[in-house]
């Protein structure tokens, strides 16, 4: 296959719409050496954009990120246009006008009329269908989505979205162009939310349900998701940062465009907060309060307990195997008891199990365990760096069981929170759902496994891509968690995707079709 090249170095780029995103995209193209034409229909918008660009570059000079001469060269390359027709010589025209279908269609009709025959025409839409925007274009085959993330000059990821009519060669040229600009392109077919905004929905959706069901309060769920899941921010802190209104709008858009797929259902809590004007940091209040005197709620943690002296490790602990060396390092004696079956630890009269999507109460009610003292623990992303873990105890257990289990995790340096005994706890339930949506995205031919993982790591800063994470947990284990969630809640929301179920059955990984470790 011949290597596809981006637009020629030094060829002009036009950006139509000089708002937040247009200005950022103009900066990126100018930094890469292209002359940039910047156009906007609103009076004064281009001048404002040029002055914002100047001050942003001056700040970067002050920080030592570039020289004053470089900043001058970048600003000089961006030319404000009074007429759209001035954009005609561009080799690529990026539309970044308001997120409104009619506005975009009208702007693109004008753009098409003046663009050079070989020019790539792109839209920076974040939520509209690229196929839908292209309907009515004379040459939809040269039209592609180029979804930059905000702030565009900083965020490395660009989703390259192909509508139904997009020529794959055009998508490859658009990807090669942004790669030349130092960005990381991922390809996807036009689908609600593209990759990032689609696959990320369960990160918020499951947390909202966990809190509403009383499984944990916001601070406790956030602490478990960061300390055990390895996420940079907890879901509630992140929704407050993004804006609860913005997050709700994306959730509604993906849900509605997916014909109400239960996996993407927004939560009434989001709507209530928006109705109340509690939009997160920007309004001073969301899930948390902000400001100098605002309280900072701490996660609820269990008091310090003595560590167990001796632990028996039975069966295949799978993703939880990393706990064994941590216990040994903490001076706990571990007897590895030969034999198969599901992994579990026995100590101080407790049966401690990694969550498989069933509740501790369900597990205790099975006669096979022979004990009521069942405690389950949540998924850990990395046993070397875990700092906080969530546990749940069976309803049948006698008082003190969860405290004794806490002593083990405290001995390895973790804070321990008691969660209500919900299926899959917080991290496992969320990661299983992220993997489910990621697997559907691959199975339905929307994006490749590598691009889904890359998009989620660069677009949302997840510690692992959802497919590689599912492969590490074990695809069959993830499928079992989803089946248990589905059985537990009786909801289609937790269905096992066809692609994931099939790979679980054949022992293949989600990423490359290879065998699971």
- Interacting residues with ligand NAD (CB under 6 A): 16-22, 39-42, 45, 96-99, 103, 107, 124-126, 148-150
Kindly state the smallest distance separating residue 305's Cβ from ligand NAD, in Å: 46
Which position among 112, 159, 362, 373 bears the catalytic label?
159
Phi first, then psi: give them for residue 344, nearest 5 degrees.
Answer: -160, 160
Kindly state the smallest distance separating residue 208's Cβ from ligand NAD, in Å: 22
CA torsion 285-289-291-297 (nearest 10°) is -170
Kindly state the smallest distance separating residue 473's Cβ from ligand NAD, in Å: 31
Q: Which is nearer to ligand NAD, 105 or 502 (CB)?
A: 105
Give yes or no: 484 in active site: no
Kindly state the smallest distance separating residue 169's Cβ from ligand NAD, in Å: 24
Measuring CA to CA, which residue among 502, 491, 503 is closest to residue 261? Answer: 491
Q: Which is nearer to ligand NAD, 125 or 166 (CB)?
A: 125
Measuring CA to CA, which residue among 143, 142, 179, 124 is closest to residue 3? Answer: 179
Residue nearest to ligand NAD (CB): 19
Kindly state the smallest distance separating residue 25's Cβ from ligand NAD, in Å: 9
Distance of CA 196 to the CA centre of its chain: 6
Measuring CA to CA, which residue among 149, 89, 120 is closest to residue 456? Answer: 149
Strand order in the sheet with 157-162: 78-80, 36-39, 13-16, 92-95, 120-123, 143-148, 157-162, 184-189
Q: Which is nearer to ligand NAD, 194 or 347 (CB)?
A: 194
Instruction: For residues 337 and 345, give the distance between their C-alpha atoms in angstroms, rounded to a whole number.
Output: 10
Q: Which is nearer to ligand NAD, 152 or 406 (CB)?
A: 152
Q: Which is nearer to ligand NAD, 149 or 469 (CB)?
A: 149
CB 25 within 8 Å of CB 16:
no
Give yes or no: 147 in active site: yes
* Structure token pair of residue 92: 């690529």
Kindly state the smallest distance separating residue 97's Cβ from ligand NAD, in Å: 4
Q: Which is nearer to ligand NAD, 16 or 437 (CB)?
A: 16
Give yes or no: 126 in active site: yes
Instruction: For residues 390 and 355, give the distance between their C-alpha atoms in angstroms, rounded to a whole number.
Output: 10
Kindly state the smallest distance separating residue 123's Cβ from ligand NAD, in Å: 7
Instruction: For residues 218 and 454, give the distance between their C-alpha atoms in angstroms, rounded to a whole number.
Output: 28
Give yes or no: 388 in active site: no
Instruction: For residues 332 and 306, give the distance between their C-alpha atoms in angstroms, rounded to a whole number.
Output: 11
Kindly state the smallest distance separating residue 33's Cβ from ligand NAD, in Å: 23
- For residue 176, give every residue at least 6 positions away whose Cβ sits within 8 Å of its Cβ, in sequence order, or none: 4, 5, 6, 185
Strand intervals (E) in 216-318: 310-316
Which position among 34, 147, 381, 415 bears the catalytic label?
147
Instruction: Assign residue 335 a region (left: φ > 0; alpha: ψ between -120 and 50; beta: otherwise).
Output: beta
Residue 320, CB-side half-sphere exposure with 13 Å CA sphere? 23
Measuring CA to CA, which residue among 92, 78, 80, 81 is closest to residue 27? Answer: 78
Q: Which is nearer to ligand NAD, 23 or 417 (CB)?
A: 23
343 preceded by a cis bond (ω within 30 of 0): no
Q: Which is nearer to ligand NAD, 3 or 154 (CB)?
A: 154
Which position among 34, 112, 126, 187 bears the catalytic label?
126
Distance of CA 514 to the CA centre of its chain: 25
Q: Give catalytic residues, as residue numbers.
A: 126, 147, 159, 197
């Amino acid at each position: 296959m011949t290597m596809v090249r981006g637009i020629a170095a030094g060829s002009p780029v036009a950006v139509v719409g000089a708002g937040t995103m247009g200005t950022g995209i103009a900066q990126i193209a100018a930094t890469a050496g292209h002359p940039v034409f910047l156009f906007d229909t609103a009076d004064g918008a281009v001048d404002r954009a040029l002055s914002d660009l100047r001050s942003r570059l001056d700040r970067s000079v002050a920080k030592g990120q570039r020289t004053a001469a470089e900043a001058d060269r970048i600003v000089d390359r961006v030319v404000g246009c009074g007429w759209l027709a001035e954009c005609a010589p561009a080799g690529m025209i990026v539309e970044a006008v308001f997120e409104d279908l009619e506005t975009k269609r009208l702007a693109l009709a004008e753009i098409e009329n003046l663009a050079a025959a070989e020019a790539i025409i792109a839209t920076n839409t974040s939520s509209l269908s690229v196929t839908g925007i292209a309907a009515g274009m004379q040459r939809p085959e040269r039209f592609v989505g180029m979804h930059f993330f905000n702030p565009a000059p900083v965020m490395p990821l660009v989703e390259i979205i192909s509508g139904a009519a997009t020529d794959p060669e055009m998508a490859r040229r658009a990807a090669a162009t942004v790669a030349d600009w130092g960005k990381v392109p991922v390809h996807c077919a036009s689908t609600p939310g593209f990759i990032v905004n689609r696959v990320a929905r369960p990160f918020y959706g499951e947390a909202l349900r966990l809190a509403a069901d009383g499984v944990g309060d916001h601070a406790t769920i956030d602490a478990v998701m960061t300390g055990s899941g390895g996420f940079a921010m907890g879901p509630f802190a992140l929704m407050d940062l993004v804006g609860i209104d913005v997050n709700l709008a994306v959730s509604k858009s993906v849900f509605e465009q997916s014909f109400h797929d239960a996996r993407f259902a927004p939560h009434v809590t989001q709507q209530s907060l928006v109705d109340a004007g509690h939009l997160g940091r920007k309004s001073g209040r969301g899930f948390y309060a902000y400001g100098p005197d605002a309280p900072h709620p701490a996660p609820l943690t269990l008091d310090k307990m003595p560590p167990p002296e001796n632990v028996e490790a039975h069966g295949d602990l799978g993703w939880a195997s990393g706990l064994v060396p941590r216990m040994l390092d903490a001076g706990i004696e571990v007897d590895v008891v030969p034999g198969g079956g599901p992994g579990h630890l026995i100590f101080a009269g407790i049966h401690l199990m990694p969550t498989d999507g069933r509740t501790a109460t369900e597990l205790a009610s099975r006669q096979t365990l022979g004990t009521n003292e069942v405690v389950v623990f949540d998924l850990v992303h990395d046993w070397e760096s875990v700092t906080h873990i969530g546990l749940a105890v069976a309803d049948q257990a006698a008082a003190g069981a969860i405290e004794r289990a806490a002593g083990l995790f405290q001995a390895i340096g973790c804070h321990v929170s008691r969660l209500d005994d919900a299926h899959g706890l917080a991290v496992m339930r969320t990661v299983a759902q992220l993997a489910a949506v990621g697997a559907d995205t691959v199975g339905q031919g929307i994006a490749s496994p590598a691009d889904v993982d890359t998009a989620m790591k660069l677009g949302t800063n997840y510690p692992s891509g959802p497919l590689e994470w599912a492969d590490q947990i074990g695809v069959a284990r993830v499928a079992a968690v989803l089946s248990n969630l589905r059985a537990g809640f009786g909801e289609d929301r937790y269905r096992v995707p066809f692609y994931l179920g099939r790979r679980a059955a054949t022992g293949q990984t989600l990423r490359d079709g290879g065998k699971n470790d």
